[in-house]
Amino acid sequence: MNIQKFSYKSILVGAVVIVGLIYLFIRSTQVQSQNSNLEPEDKIPTVFVHGYKGTFNSFKTMMNRFDQRYNLGKRTLLCFVDKEGHLTFKGSLPIGQKHPLIQVVFENNRATINDTSFWLQKIMKELKGKYNVDQVYLVAHSMGGLVTTQYLENTYGSSDYPLPLKFITISTPFQGVTRASYDKVNTGPAVVDLKPGSEAQKRLLENRDKFDPTIQVLSIGAMGDQVVSVESATGMRDIARPEQYKESIIKDQSISHSGLHETELVDRLISQFLWTPKKIHGEN
For 185-217, write each residue's pLDDT tens digit.
Answer: 888 999 999 999 999 999 999 999 999 999 999
The verdict on pTM exceeding 0.75 is yes
For residue 9, name the pLDDT band (cuts at 50, 70, 90).
low
CA-to-CA distance for 256 and 110, rounded, in angstroms? 20
Look over the chain and give the mean of its residue pLDDT values, rounded to a whole number. 89
- Please list, residue by residue across 195-217, b when 16 or more beta carbons sit within 10 angstroms of its beta carbon and e when fewer do: eeebebbebbeebeeebbeebbb
- pLDDT at site 30: 41
DSSP structure class, residue 250: E
- For residue 151, give the amino acid letter: Y
Q: Of 11 and 268, which is predicted with more confidence?
A: 268
- pLDDT at site 282: 53
Mean of pLDDT values over 230-257:
97
% of the chain beyond a pLDDT of 70: 85
Q: Phi/psi at 162 (nearest 5 deg)?
A: -60, 145
- pLDDT per residue over 153-184, tens digit each? 999 999 999 999 999 999 999 999 988 778 77
Q: Are 189 and 110 in contact (CB under 8 A)?
A: yes
- pLDDT per residue over 92-115, tens digit each? 999 889 999 999 999 999 999 999
Question: Above 80 in pLDDT, residue 20?
Answer: no
Mean of pLDDT values over 120-143:
98
Question: Above 50 in pLDDT, residue 19?
Answer: no
| Residue 269 CB burial class (10 angstroms; 0-12, 13-18, ≥19) | buried
Strands 74-81 and 87-91: antiparallel
- pLDDT at site 159: 97
- pLDDT at site 182: 85
The strand pairing partners of 220, in sequence order, are: 170, 248
For residue 277, name the pLDDT band (cuts at 50, 70, 90).
low
